[in-house]
Amino acid sequence: MNFAQFTLQEQGVVILAALVLFTSFSLLAQTRIIACIHAFAWQGALVAAATAMVALVAGQHHLYISALITFALKAVLIPWVLHRIVVKLQITREVETVVNPSLVLLAAAALVAFSYYVALPVEKLSTLATRNTIAISMAVVLLGMLMMVTRRQAITQVVGFMSIENGLFFAAVVSTHGMPMVVELGVAFDLLVATVIFGVFFFQIRQSIDSLDVDRLSRLAESTEEEEQQDNHG
Amino acid sequence: MNALFATLLIPLLGTLLMAVVPRCRIAGWVNVAFAAATTAASIVLALEIFESGPLLSPGKFFYVDAFNVYLLVLTAFVATTTAIFSRPYMDHELAQGRVNNRRMRLYHAMYQGFLFTMLLALSTNNLGILWVALEGATLATVLLVSLYRTPESVEAAWKYFILCGVGIAQALFGTVLLYFAAASVLTSAEDGLLWTTLHGIAGQLDPTVMSIAFVFLLVGYGTKVGLVPLHNWLPDAHSEGPTPMSAVLSGLLLNVALYAVVRTKMLVDGALAAAPNVPQPQLAGYLMMAFGLLSFLVAGLFLHRQRDIKRMFSYSSIEHMGLMTFAFGLGGPLATFAALLHMTLHSLVKSAIFVTVGHATHIAGTQAIDKIRGLIRTQPTVGWGLLLGTAAIAGFPPFGLFVSEFLLLIATMQSWPWLTVVLLSGLAIAFAGLFRNIHPMVYGNQPEGQTPVKANMLPVYLHLLLALWFGLAIPAVLAQWFDQATQLIAGKGVL
Amino acid sequence: MADYLTLQGWLLALLQTALFVTAAPLLVGWLRLLKARLQNRSAPALTQPYRDLSKLFRKEVIVADTASPLFRAAPYVVFSATVVTAAVIPLLAVHLPTAAIADVIVLVGFLALARFFLALAGMDVGTAFGGMGSSREMTIASLAEPAMLMAIFTLTMTAQSSNISHAIDFLLAQGLVLRPSFMFALLALLLVAVAETGRIPVDNPTTHLELTMVHEAMILEYSGRHLALMEWAAQLKLMIYGVLIANIFFPWGIAVESTPTALLLGLAAITGKLMLLCVVLAVAETALAKMRLFRVPGYLNLAFLFALLGMLSHVILEVGA
């Protein structure tokens, strides 16, 4: 089967998937916290749009509801909450230094290739028009993890976490036209609670270390031999 | 059926009620009452299952068989005994000013919420809901880890949240893949996440997709089990939260996560066994063995360098979870039986130890191993409790863990003889690590002015007695029960 | 693929090249007109670039004492290399005799040749600004070229040919297909084109401040007809990129047969497409400010990222679909 034989709507889904991947890259490259949150909101909106498009293509009406929930939650509510927290903590102008940004982007490209490789046998099994986007969804998950690894700010780590969720949701949509409704609602509920808890945490972290730089959360690392010796001497 | 609903609804009701009960003194008692009622309901449920076999609820939403019903009872039971311990312990913390009334309310509500999510995870038939419930368990406990609001506890909670969140996200991806594999076989995809349905069609599921799914699921739930190298959150979360939380996290949450891994392993094994030309039909088992063994050895080594008593015992939890993962991975009736027995006993003994440690830290006023000395002189019940608990967890003969470890060694000898050496040396290392630290704490010279505290050692001795009983003679009913579960998992029983 | 060697075909190709070369200043005129309107200035006439060129051609050539023969030769080399490039690109019609060498790699090669001589000429006289301009130009080129090649490879992988004429044929035959790889390749090529043709935000073609110059710094020493040729070559380059983007990504309207009606239609189509493209460019140039030079690598990294994403999404999403 050839790509050109897809209907325009199906091609639209693929284009949206590619754009979602692009937002993942831009999340990785953004250094300003506010810009990161905006990129995340765009990703949520694109995922929701892709979901609605899949619903249209496949005639799966329950996906419209999923798309709506996703849009409300990931394109509006969560970015709004994060934005408010950033304003409240007065870090709107904060810029985060990413160590070696070009290396990060190269690693990201490698991860995309890797997810393609892993998703290949999965895609072979599927007959859906959207099956090729499974690799994209997996890449979004992995890029979210990469973002969490490379960032030091608590808020951007959370954005990475949420973008992983985006990838997971997208995976469910494109591989199987969404999970059963009850599971999707459960996941959305968990995400909502997680957002609230994250919000609480930002204030707790801020209170305890007077910063949101999680690198400074290092009291609990396994102590090295030298430290132990120092402790013994002291 | 009613017993199942009672088991689930009581803690849910408890969560809501605790959130509004203002007086914490009453809250402690109410907490115990709810947990005890849950235990009672779960025992009724267990008897029903024992009489009439597996139970599938009409909407196929819940499925209870011999495997998970015993975990349900165990969970409810340990939650009850820990609640009994938690009441005076938390009163003490309140009196010390480490928590305030509002946080106590949060604590009690979340205690019940945590119990609910675990019971839901155990009893649901839907693998998606299993994921939701396990994530819910993280959410319920994460604010409890940071209950004291010290920088350390906030850091521990953050690590716990982020690592478990990311880890369990992998499990969701695995779940999506499972659903995908099922959807390509089933005509109506709606049932594609029901464990019973999946188990029925396991032979037709695509082996490659199932293998990939299992890798994701193992990494995801394995993070929650605390398997090395995804264990970093565990010692922190256990050492910085309130001690009753450490007890239930260590004794229960890890079990539930392992339960999820084993459930999915059953599906993957089914798919790989039925497919022709699979290069590695026991992939799932091998992966679990490798991760389990690695965790077992690494945690055993880390035991030696701990300076915080709760951290030390959390490494001991990693070690034992590694051992169980290894045993489940080994497969076969004997190893599975050993793993189930080990799971039960570890929960009982480890929660008992954490309760004792809670009292010990109150006596010494610190969690640092160097500062805790002479417990047996200051308060013999606590000292003996710690000593016996440690002996039990290290697998000393009269206690049940000796039996389960012995069975596991035999099973290993039968299929992987040279691994027995590794296991034995790992056990020796862990044993040395524990006793090297425990000995001075129990026997050493007691510091000036160290006074006994009000301790409720009933749960500890109850748990240790049970462990002892299981070591001397496993009650016929329980043996039968474990055997039923073994039959479910391994295909045939040992008895 | 018929008439490679027919007289008519060659005539048509010659005609097309002539049109290409003569229309290039007009394109720049149109762009300036748009920009002036957008910036609320009164616009110069559409034909102003022609007047400028003819003025320069009539003026005396002054060459620095330190200049080598290369300095005199460079304008002719640069101009002719650019004209040859223009000649192979399908402007109005595909299937022309020149299409046989209309290979993207050849095209990139010709442009690189022109750039090489331009940079040499910039350094030849030995002034500080010329050398600085050359070094900046080469820095930008070394970053832009990988991105451009990557984007082009994405296209050629889809069309299964690196010949532009064949590729256009292939795309025309498929009709409207929304390819994610093309979307990214288009974005990448747009960014590269802006950098390569020295437009805002990478370089400012109207600047009088030597310190910020890139392209202008290299031709600072030229005068008279030399300068005219250099300017004309730059205008041609802008048009080359414009036509490439317009005809590859939006090939509709280009003449497949060499009948007068088809050719007229092709002329109308390319005129419309280029006019629209200029609107986009003018809006972008008005809205954006010129970047500081050390931010240019970041900009070109973005172009490379787009190209890379295009390649990845081609492999992942389109192959085996």
3-state secondary structure at position A95 = strand
* Predicted local confidence at residue C4, as pLDDT: 58
* Predicted local confidence at residue B23, as pLDDT: 66
Tens digit of each residue's pLDDT (9 = 90 or more) over B51-73: 888 888 888 889 998 888 989 99
Tens digit of each residue's pLDDT (9 = 90 or more) over C87-109: 989 988 888 888 878 888 889 99
* Predicted local confidence at residue B494, as pLDDT: 80
CB proximity C275 to A under 8 Å? no
Tens digit of each residue's pLDDT (9 = 90 or more) over C168-187: 888 888 888 888 999 999 99
Indicate if the alpha-carbon torsion angle C42, C43, C45, C49 is positive or negative: positive
User: Is C263 within a domain?
Assistant: yes
3-state secondary structure at position B282 = coil
Exposure class string for C36-47: b at 16+ Cβ within 10 A, else e:
eeeeeeebeeee
CA distances to A22, A136, B44 from A19, in Å: 5, 10, 54
Indicate if the alpha-carbon torsion angle C260, C262, C264, C270 is positive or negative: negative
**CB < 8 Å to A232, chain B:** none
User: Is C2 within a domain?
Assistant: no
Q: Are B495 and B479 in contact (CB under 8 A)?
A: yes
Average confidence score pLDDT of chain C: 90
* Predicted local confidence at residue A224, as pLDDT: 43
Given A14, A29, A102, which is nearest C317 (Cβ)?
A: A14
∠ CA C234-C245-C86, rounded to 5°: 45
Give the list of residues 6+ apart from residue A197 with CB closer than 8 angstroms, or none.
Answer: B139, B142, B143, B161
Indicate if the alpha-carbon torsion angle B440, B442, B445, B448 is positive or negative: positive
Indicate if the alpha-carbon torsion angle A153, A154, A159, A162 is positive or negative: positive
- Measure the CA–CA gap between A23 and A32, rounded to whole angstroms: 15
Residue with tokens 């975990």: B71
Tens digit of each residue's pLDDT (9 = 90 or more) over C201-248: 888 888 888 888 888 889 989 999 999 999 999 999 999 999 999 999
Cα nearest neighbour of A118 on chain C = C316
* Residue C134, token pair as written in the block: 């050359």
- Measure the CA–CA gap between C194 and C203, rounded to whole angstroms: 9
User: Is C12 within a domain?
Assistant: yes
* Residue B127, token pair as written in the block: 């693998």
Q: Which of B180, B212, B311 to mutate to test the interface with A (most CBs of A within 10 A)?
A: B180
Q: Are B43 and B234 in contact (CB under 8 A)?
A: no
Tens digit of each residue's pLDDT (9 = 90 or more) over C284-304: 999 988 888 888 888 998 999
Tens digit of each residue's pLDDT (9 = 90 or more) over C7-37: 888 888 899 999 999 999 999 999 999 999 9
Q: Are B369 and B473 in contact (CB under 8 A)?
A: no
Q: What is the greatest pairwise CA distance in chain C?
A: 64
Q: Are A122 and B180 in contact (CB under 8 A)?
A: yes
B152–A219: do the CB atoms touch at under 8 Å?
yes
The alpha carbon of residue A129 is apart from the nearest alpha carbon of chain B, in Å, by: 14
Fill in the amino acid letter for C293.
Answer: L
Q: Are C299 and C195 in contact (CB under 8 A)?
A: yes
Number of domains in chain C: 1
Q: Are B227 and B322 in contact (CB under 8 A)?
A: yes
Cα nearest neighbour of A29 on chain C = C302
Between helices A154-176 and A33-58, what is the axis angle to 10°? 10
User: Is C188 within a domain?
Assistant: yes
Q: Are C230 and C219 in contact (CB under 8 A)?
A: yes
Neighbours of A (≥3 Cβ pairs closer than 8 A)?
B, C
Note whether B touches C: 3 CB pairs or more under 8 A. Answer: no
Give the list of residues 6+ apart from residue A67 with CB closer than 8 angstroms, or none.
Answer: A48, A49, A51, A52, A55
A105–C316: do the CB atoms touch at under 8 Å?
no
Fill in the amino acid letter for C100.
Answer: A
Given B139, B180, B184, which is nearest A197 (Cβ)?
A: B139
Residue with tokens 């995801």: B220
Q: Are B300 and B426 in contact (CB under 8 A)?
A: yes
Average confidence score pLDDT of chain B: 89
* Predicted local confidence at residue C320, as pLDDT: 64
CB proximity C295 to A under 8 Å? no
User: Residues in chain B with pLDDT < 50?
Assistant: none
Q: Which of residues 67-126 of A touch C (CB under 8 A)?
A: 102, 105, 109, 112-113, 116, 123
Long-range contacts of residues B56-62, Cβ cutoff 8 Å, at least 24 apart: B56/B125, B56/B196, B57/B1, B57/B4, B57/B125, B60/B125, B60/B191, B60/B194, B60/B196, B60/B197, B61/B124, B61/B125, B61/B126, B61/B129, B62/B4, B62/B123, B62/B124, B62/B125
Q: Span C244-257, mean pLDDT?
A: 89
∠ CA B428-B431-B436, rounded to 5°: 125
Between helices B24-52 and B101-123, what is the axis angle to 10°? 10
**CB < 8 Å to B189, chain A:** 176-177
* Predicted local confidence at residue B221, as pLDDT: 94
* Predicted local confidence at residue B152, as pLDDT: 87
Q: Which of A197, A203, A218, A228 to mutate to test the interface with B (most CBs of B within 10 A)?
A: A197
Given A167, A179, A209, which is nearest B128 (Cβ)?
A: A179
Q: How would DSSP label each residue in A145-196?
A: HHHHHH--BHHHHHHHHHHHHHHHHHHHHHHHSS--HHHHHHHHHHHHHHHH
User: Residues in chain A with pLDDT < 70?
Assistant: 1, 221-234
A3–C305: do the CB atoms touch at under 8 Å?
no
* Predicted local confidence at residue C210, as pLDDT: 80
* Residue B243, token pair as written in the block: 């001690």
- Domain containing residue C158: 7-318
- Measure the CA–CA gap between C321 and C316, rounded to whole angstroms: 9
3-state secondary structure at position B461 = helix
* Predicted local confidence at residue A221, as pLDDT: 64
User: Is C1 within a domain?
Assistant: no
**CB < 8 Å to C297, chain A:** none
- B267-B269-B273-B276 Cα dihedral, nearest 10 degrees: 80
Q: Which of A208, A231, A232 to mutate to test the interface with B (most CBs of B within 10 A)?
A: A208
A161–B166: do the CB atoms touch at under 8 Å?
yes
**CB < 8 Å to A116, chain C:** 312, 315-316
* Predicted local confidence at residue A228, as pLDDT: 43
Q: Which of residues 88-147 of A touch B (CB under 8 A)?
A: 118, 121-122, 125-127, 138, 141, 145
Q: Looking at chain C, how many residues does it have?
A: 321
